[in-house]
Structure 1
Amino acid sequence: MNKQPQSKIFNRILSELREYRFSILISVVCALFTVYLTLLIPILTGRAVDCIVAKENVDFDKLIYILQLMVVTVVATFFTQWIMNRVNNRITYSVTKNLRDRAFAKLQHAKLSDIDSHPHGDFVSRIVSDADTFADGLLMGFTQVFTGVLTIIGTIYFMITISLKIALIVIIATPVSLLIAKFISEKTYKFFGTQAKLRGQETSYIEEIIVNKNIVRNMDYEDDALENFGSMNNDLADASMKATFYSSIVNPSTRLVNNLIYAAVGVFGAVMVTTGGITVGGLASFLSYASTYAKPFNEISGVITEFQNALACASRLFEVIDADVELDEGVDKLIEPRGSIEFKNVCFSYDKSKKLIENLNIKVEPGQKVAIVGPTGAGKSTIINLLMRFYDIDLGQILIDGRDIREIPLDDLRSNFGMVLQETWLKNASIKENLKMANPEASDEEIIEAAKASHAHSFIKKMPYGYDTVINAGEGTLSLGQLQLLCITRVMLNIPPMLILDEATSSIDTRTEQRIQSAFNKMMNGRTTFVVAHRLSTIKGADLILFIKDGAIVEQGNHSQLLQKNGFYAKLYRSDFEIN
C-alpha cells in the first residue's frame, strides 16, 4: 500500500464527486442565493441608518419598507441555506458510504500478503474511524469553504461599490492571512497523518490484547501490555498535541490580522465621514462587510486544518481501495474433479530474501488421505495456502487433474475444497443459518443428520431455541470445541470433492475427537484429503504422511513405514505418545 502526494489525494476526491454533479450544481445555486441574500442585509441596514440620520424628518414609510425587505431576505436565506446543507449532507455521506463499501469489498479480494502485512485493527481504523473523519472534513469543506469563497468575492464587490479607497485597505492586507494559513496547514497535514497511523496501531493492539485476554492473564502479561499500550498512547498523544497545536493557532493568527484590518477600516472610514466622503449608513454597511469579509478567512483557516486531517485519512482509505487484488486469470472450471493433485518443483517465500519452500514435489492420487506433519514454522499450513491460492507460488506448478490451478477460476477452485480450520468463524445469526452457509438449499432433516454425524446435535438440542438459537461467537456462549464442531458440521452438510483439515480437532477434547473420527473417515472416503495436525493419533490411518522440515519433505510414507525408518516422524510420534 503506497502513500500518495497530497495534491493527488485532492484530485482523487474531486473525481469521486463527479457522479454527484447535479447535486453539486443545486448546492452551488443555493450557495449563491444564500451569499447574495446574506450580503443584502448590510446594504439594507445602511439605508435604514441613512433614513434616520441623514434627514431632519425620518421617512417612516421607506424605513418600514426596508425593514420588511430585510425580514423577507432573512427568511429566504434560511430556506436556501437549509436546502444547501441538506444537499451537502447527502453528497458527503453518499461519498463516504461508497468509499467505505469499496474499501470493505476490496478486503474480500485483496492479496493475503497485503492483509497479513498490516495489523488487522489497522484496517478497522481505516474503514471506520478514518472514513468518519474524512466525512467530517469533506462536509466542512462543502458547507464552509465554498460559501466562504463566495462571501469573500461578494463582500469585495459591495465594499468597492461603497468606497474603493477603504476597500483597497482590506484587499491589500488579505495575503497576510492567506500566507499564515498556508504555512500552518502544511504542518498540520504531516502531524494528522502521523496521528491517523498511530491511532490504527493502537486499535490493532487493543484488539490483539482483547482477543488473547486469557493467554495474557495466564502469562501474567498485564503489566507489560499496559506498559506497551502506555508507550503507544504517549506517541499518539504527542502526535495529537502537535497536530492540535498547529491547528489551534490558525484561527487566532488570522483573526488577529483581520481585527487589525477592521480597526484600520473603522478609523479611516470615520475620517471620510467627517469629510463627506461616505455617509454614516455607508460606513455602517462597510464595517459590516469588513467583518463579514474577515469571518470566512477565520472559518476557512479552521476548515483547512480539518481538511488536512480529512486528506490524511482519505489517503489511508484510498490505500485500501487501491490495494492489489488476487490474480484470477482462470477461465475453465473443474468438471467433476477426480482429486489428483501434484506439486511440481514449487518454490515460495513470504519474504523474498528468504526461501521457505524450495523445489517441493508432491504427487497425490485421487481419493488418497495425505497427512502433513512437522515442527511449527516448517511450512505445513503454507502448503495448504498455496493449494488454495491464498498465496501464489514463486516458481513451479500446482496441478489438479493435470491442470495448473492458475488456469482455474478462484471461486471454482476453492468451492471444490471443503475446509475445516483451527480458526473458527461463525456469523452473528442462528445456528441453522450458519450451517446453511455451506448449502443454502439444505433441509432441516439434512442439517440434523450432518449435526449428528459430527456429534454436534446433542449440545445444539440443549440450546434455548435449538437450531434457531442466535449465537455470537464473540460472547463466549459456546466453547471453542463447540464452535469447531459447528464448523465441521457445516462442511459435512455439503461435502465437496476434496477436503482440507488444518488442525480441525485442535480445540476438541480427545474423547470427542475419537467419536467424530469415524464421521471424518466416512466423509473422507473416496475424497482426496489433506490433513494438517499436531496430534499424530489423528493421522495414523493416512495413505501418505509427509514430514515437512524447513519447507522441504524430509520423510514420506505411511505410518508403519515411517516408524521403521526411525527418523523424524518416529521421534515425533514417540514424544507425542509419551505426552498423551
Structure 2
Amino acid sequence: MSQMGPPRPGASMPAEKAKDFKGTFRRLVSYLKPRRKKLAAVFIVAILSTVFAIVGPKIMGMAITELFEGAYGQLQGVPGGGIDFGVIGQILAVLAGLYVFSSLFSYIQQYMMSTVAQDTVYDMRQDVNKKLEKLPLEYFDGRPNGETLSRMTNDIDTIGSTLQQSLTQFITSIVTLVGILVMMLTISPLLTLIAVVSLPLSLFVIGPILKRSQKYFSSQQKNLGRLNGHVEEMYTGHQVVKAFGHEAKSNEQFDAVNAELYDAGRKAQFISGIIMPMMSLIGNLSYVLISIVGGVLVIQRAISIGDIQAFITYSKQFTQPITQTANIANIIQSTVAAAERVFELLDEQEEVEAVTTSVLARAKGAVAFEDVDFGYGDNLLIEGLNIDVEPGQTVAIVGPTGAGKTTLINLLMRFYELKGGRITIDALDSREMSRHELRHNFGMVLQDTWLFNGTIRDNISYGKTGASEEEIVAAAQAAHADHFIRTLPDGYDTVLNQEVSNISQGQKQLVTIARAILADPPMMILDEATSSVDTRTEILIQQAMNRLMAGRTSFVIAHRLSTIKHADLILVMDQGQVIEQGTHEQLLDKDGFYADLYRSQFSAKVAI
C-alpha cells in the first residue's frame, strides 16, 4: 500500500522537561471542582478522625499520671494514697472509645475519597477517549501507538493512585501537624519551641531536593511512555522482527530506552529517598533534646510525668506528618508530570469541523478534484491535481510505491485537509459538509484488514447499526463468506481472538467485504484488497468486490494491473501527479508509463 506521510518519530527522542508545573497542577485540581461537596465531607471526616487520634496520647498521659501519683502516694504513706483502678479504667474506656471513633471516621474517609478519585479518573479517561475520536489521522501517523496508550493507562493510573492515597494522607498530615502543635502548646510552650525548631530546619533541607527531583520524575514518565511504545511495536510485529533477524537490534533499542528509564527512575527515587533519612535525623535530634529538657522539668515538678510522656509521643508524631508531606510532595511531582502528558494529549489540535452549509443525504457518486494542492508541512507533494469521476464509474489508481495513491484516498475521506483547491461530491464542496456525513457515503475495504475481538456477526454488523440477522447473512453470502463461516465450530457466533489469528487472511478480507456490503454506501474505496491472499481466494474476493462495486462509484488502488483491466477510468500517478489517465486499452495504445508498468508485470510473470 502506498503511503505518503510525515516521518515517524523514533524511539530515541529526548525526554522533555515539565513545561508548566503550576498551570498543570491548577488544571488537575479543576477536575476535582465538581466534587467539592464530597471533598469537603472528606476533609471534615479526616479532621474528626485525626482529632480523636491526637487526643489519645493526652488521655493516656492522664492515666499514667494517675497511676504514678497513686503508686507514689502509696509508697510515701500518704493517707488515701494508692492506685485508683476505677478512675484508670474510666480513662482507658474513654481512650478506647476515641480510637474506635477515629478508626470509624478513617474508614469513612477512605471510602469517600476512593469514590472521588475513581470518579475523577473516570472523567479524565472519558475526556481522553473523546479527544482521540477527534484527533486527525496525522496525529496517529506521527506517534507510536504505545505512547498514546501509556498516556491513557499508566499516566491516568498514576493520577488516580495519588488522589486515592496521597490526597487523604496530605489532609491528615496537615490536620495532625496543627492538632499536635496545639496539644503540645497546652502541655509546655518551652518544649513546643524546641520541637518547632525542627520544622524550618526540615523545610530548609528538603526544599532543594524537591526542586531537583521534578525533572527526574518528568523524565521517568517520558521514558516509560517510550518504552511502552517500543514494546507495543515489537510485540505486534514480532513475526517480522524474527523473520528479518532483528531480535538483537530490538533488544538493543529496548536496552537503550530501558537504561534511560532506569537512570531517570534511579535518580528520581534516590533523591526522593534521601528525604526520609534526613527527616529522621532531624526528628531524632529534636526527640533527644526534648527528653533531656522534659526530664529536668519533671524533676522540678514543673510538668507531670504523664504530660511529659504524652509530649514525647507528640514530638515523635510531630515529624511524621512533615515527613509524609515531604513524601507526598515527591509523589505530586510525579503525578503532575503524568498529568502534563495527559493534558498535552487533550490539548492536541483537533480536526476542524466547519459550520456545515451543504447536506449530502445519499450521494449519486460524482466526484471531482479541482486544482488540489497538498503536502505534509510546507512542501507540496500534490499540486494542481484535477480529476473528474462520473457516478457509477470504477476508477483504478495505479503507480509506483510512494506515488500518492493512498494520499489521494486520505484527501477524499478528509483524513487530511487540503492546502489548496477543493474536492466536490455531487458538485458540493466536501469541506462544507460534516465529516460524518461525508464518510457515511463511503465504504472502505483496505489491504490491512481490521477486525476486533468479538463474534463474526458483530464484526459484520459493524457496518450497519441495528442490522437484522437476515441482512448480515445476505451480506456474507454476497461476499462469498457465508460458506466458510458456517464451517466454523460456532458459525456466525465464532469469537475472533484478540489477534484475530483464528481465521485466515483471506477469510478476514471476506468478512470486511461483507461488512462493506452491509453498509450499502453509494461510493466504495478498495485499497489492494487481494494482495496477500492465494489465487483461489483472490478469485472469490474479486467476485465479491465486483458485486460490491456494481452501480457504485468505486476507487480501486491496485498493484496487480491485471485486476483493473475493466475499470472505466485508470489514473496513473507518479510523485503526487496524475501523469496519465484513460481506459486500459487507451493507456496501452499510448505506450507510456502505464504500458511500461503493465509489460514489466507481465514479463515478471513469464519469467517466473
Q: TM-score, normalised by structure 1?
A: 0.96
* More displaced 10-residue stretch of structure 1: 492-501 or 321-330: 321-330
* More displaced 10-residue stretch of structure 1: 558-567 or 397-406: 558-567
- The question of 1:13 aligning with 2:28 is answered yes
Deviation per CA, 1:560-579, whole angstroms, max 9, x where unpaired? 12122222212221222233
- The question of 1:207 aligning with 2:232 is answered yes
Shift of 1:418: 0.6
Shift of 1:3: 6.3
From 515, 520, 530, the equivalent of 1:490 is 515
- The question of 1:343 aligning with 2:369 is answered yes
Counterparts of 1:561 and 1:337, CA distance in 2:
29
Matched residue, 2:393: 368
* More displaced 10-residue stretch of structure 1: 132-141 or 90-99: 132-141
From 322, 333, 336, the equivalent of 1:308 is 333
Shift of 1:195: 1.4
- The question of 1:520 aligning with 2:526 is answered no
* More displaced 10-residue stretch of structure 1: 535-544 or 33-42: 535-544
Matched residue, 1:68: 93
Counterparts of 2:113 and 2:466, CA distance in 1:
45
Matched residue, 1:162: 187
Counterparts of 1:441 and 1:353, CA distance in 2:
44
Deviation per CA, 1:6-41, whole angstroms, max 9, x where unpaired? 111111111100111121111111111011101111
Counterparts of 1:412 and 1:180, CA distance in 2:
62
Counterparts of 1:2 and 1:37, CA distance in 2:
43
Counterparts of 1:3 and 1:319, CA distance in 2:
11
Matched residue, 2:44: 29
Residues 152 and 459 of structure 1: is their aligned pair in 2 closer, same or farther, counting only changes over 3 Å?
same
From 410, 423, 439, the equivalent of 2:464 is 439
Deviation per CA, 1:109-139, whole angstroms, max 9, x where unpaired? 2122222221111111111111112211222
Q: Secondary structure at the match of 1:553?
A: strand
Q: Secondary structure at the match of 1:556?
A: strand
Q: Which amino acid aligns with 1:201?
A: R
From 286, 293, 296, the equivalent of 2:318 is 293
Q: Secondary structure at the match of 2:169?
A: helix
Q: Which amino acid aligns with 2:29?
A: L
Matched residue, 2:408: 383
Deviation per CA, 1:535-554, whole angstroms, max 9, x where unpaired? 11222211111111111111
Matched residue, 2:359: 333
Matched residue, 2:595: 570
Counterparts of 1:75 and 1:440, CA distance in 2:
56
Matched residue, 2:167: 142
- The question of 1:53 aligning with 2:68 is answered yes
Identity %: 39
Deviation per CA, 1:405-435, whole angstroms, max 9, x where unpaired? 1111111111110111112111211111111
* More displaced 10-residue stretch of structure 1: 470-479 or 193-202: 470-479
CA contact under 8 A between 2:528 and 2:559: conserved in structure 1? yes
Q: Which amino acid aligns with 1:12?
A: R
Q: Which amino acid aligns with 2:473?
A: I
Q: Secondary structure at the match of 1:361?
A: strand
Matched residue, 2:584: 559
Counterparts of 2:67 and 2:484, CA distance in 1:
89
Matched residue, 1:177: 202
- The question of 1:278 aligning with 2:303 is answered yes
* More displaced 10-residue stretch of structure 1: 519-528 or 454-463: 519-528
Counterparts of 1:329 and 1:50, CA distance in 2:
79
Matched residue, 1:534: 559
- The question of 1:252 aligning with 2:277 is answered yes
Q: Which amino acid aligns with 1:69?
A: V
- The question of 1:226 aligning with 2:226 is answered no
From 341, 352, 357, the equivalent of 2:382 is 357
Counterparts of 1:513 and 1:2, CA distance in 2:
52
Q: Which amino acid aligns with 1:31?
A: A
Counterparts of 1:493 and 1:2, CA distance in 2:
50
CA RMSD of superposed structures (Å): 1.8
Matched residue, 1:481: 506
Matched residue, 1:424: 449
* More displaced 10-residue stretch of structure 1: 309-318 or 135-144: 135-144
Q: Secondary structure at the match of 1:242?
A: helix
Aligned 1:66-145 pairs, distance under 5 A: 66-145=91-170
Deviation per CA, 1:344-380, whole angstroms, max 9, x where unpaired? 1211222x13222222221211111111111112211
Count of matched residue pairs: 579
Q: Secondary structure at the match of 2:397?
A: strand
CA contact under 8 A between 1:546 and 1:553: conserved in structure 2? yes
Q: Which amino acid aligns with 1:20?
A: R
CA contact under 8 A between 1:188 and 1:305: conserved in structure 2? yes
Q: Which amino acid aligns with 2:519?
A: N
Q: Secondary structure at the match of 1:54?
A: helix
Counterparts of 2:576 and 2:582, CA distance in 1:
17
Deviation per CA, 1:462-496, whole angstroms, max 9, x where unpaired? 11111111112505111222111110111011221
CA contact under 8 A between 2:63 and 2:306: conserved in structure 1? yes
From 482, 485, 491, the equivalent of 1:460 is 485
CA contact under 8 A between 1:138 and 1:307: conserved in structure 2? no
Deviation per CA, 1:441-472, whole angstroms, max 9, x where unpaired? 43333322322222212211111111111112
Deviation per CA, 1:234-265, whole angstroms, max 9, x where unpaired? 12111111111112112112221122112221
Shift of 1:210: 1.8
Q: Which amino acid aligns with 2:283?
A: N
Q: Which amino acid aligns with 1:285?
A: A
From 463, 473, 478, the equivalent of 1:448 is 473
Residues 6 and 550 of structure 1: is their aligned pair in 2 closer, same or farther, counting only changes over 3 Å?
same
* More displaced 10-residue stretch of structure 1: 482-491 or 521-530: 521-530
Matched residue, 2:11: none
CA contact under 8 A between 2:128 and 2:346: conserved in structure 1? yes
Counterparts of 1:458 and 1:418, CA distance in 2:
23
Counterparts of 2:559 and 2:238, CA distance in 1:
24
Q: Which amino acid aligns with 1:333?
A: V
* More displaced 10-residue stretch of structure 1: 506-515 or 397-406: 506-515
Counterparts of 1:263 and 1:369, CA distance in 2:
90
Shift of 1:322: 2.5
Which runs of no fewer than 5 residues in structure 2 stay unpaired?
Answer: 1-15, 74-80
CA contact under 8 A between 1:330 and 1:410: conserved in structure 2? no
Q: Which amino acid aligns with 2:443?
A: G
Q: Secondary structure at the match of 2:348?
A: coil
Counterparts of 1:237 and 1:114, CA distance in 2:
28
Counterparts of 2:327 and 2:114, CA distance in 1:
19
Q: Which amino acid aligns with 2:361?
A: I
Which runs of no fewer than 5 residues in structure 1 stay unpaired?
Answer: none
Counterparts of 1:260 and 1:363, CA distance in 2:
86
Shift of 1:300: 1.8
Counterparts of 1:568 and 1:252, CA distance in 2:
76
Q: Which amino acid aligns with 1:7?
A: K
CA contact under 8 A between 1:195 and 1:240: conserved in structure 2? yes
Q: Secondary structure at the match of 2:519?
A: coil
